[in-house]
Structure 1
Amino acid sequence: MSDSIKIDIWSDIACPWCYIGKRKLEHGLEEYSAGVDALPVEIEYHSFELSPDTPVDFDGSTTDYLAARKGMPVEQVTQMLERVTGIAASVGLDYDFDEVKHTNTVKAHQLIHYAKAHGVQLAAKERLLKAYFVDGRHVGRVEDLADLAAEIGLDREDVLRSLNSDEFLEDVHADQRQAQAYGIQGVPFFVIDGRYGISGAQEAAAFVQVLEQVAGERTEVGA
Structure 2
Amino acid sequence: MTTHPNKLRIDIVSDVVCPWCIIGYRQLAQALEATGTAHEIHWHPFELNPDMPAEGQNLRDHVAEKYGTSKEQSEDSRVRMTEVGADVGFEFRFADDMRMHNTFNLHQLLHWADQQGRMHDLKQALFTAHFTNRRNLSDDSVLADVAAEVGLDRAAALAVLEDQRFAAEVRTAENTWINQGISGVPAMIFNRRHLVTGAQGVENYTRILQQLAEMPD
TM-score (ref. length: structure 2): 0.91
**Equivalent of 1:27 in 3, 27, 30:** 30
RMSD: 1.7
Partner of 2:180: 182
Matching of residues 1-223 of structure 1 within 5 Å: 2-33=5-36, 38=37, 40-60=38-58, 62-98=59-95, 100-217=98-215, 220-221=216-217
Letter in 1 for 2:83: G
| Rg (Cα) greater in structure | 1
Aligned identity (percent) is: 35
Q: Is the 8 A contact 1:10 1:47 kept in 2?
A: yes
Letter in 2 for 1:141: D
Q: Is the 8 A contact 1:25 1:204 kept in 2?
A: yes
Q: C-alpha separation between the residues in 1 aligned to 2:35 and 2:168?
A: 35
> Which string of whole-angstrom CA distances, capped at 9 and with x for unpartnered residues, describes residues 181-200 of structure 1?
32111100000100011111
Q: Which runs of 5+ in 2 are unaligned?
A: none
> Which string of whole-angstrom CA distances, capped at 9 and with x for unpartnered residues, describes residues 51-77 of structure 1?
1111232353x2122112222222222
Letter in 2 for 1:195: R
Q: Which runs of 5+ in 1 are unaligned?
A: none
Q: Is the 8 A contact 2:186 2:198 kept in 1?
A: yes
Letter in 2 for 1:97: F
Shift of 1:21: 0.6
Q: Is the 8 A contact 2:21 2:186 kept in 1?
A: yes
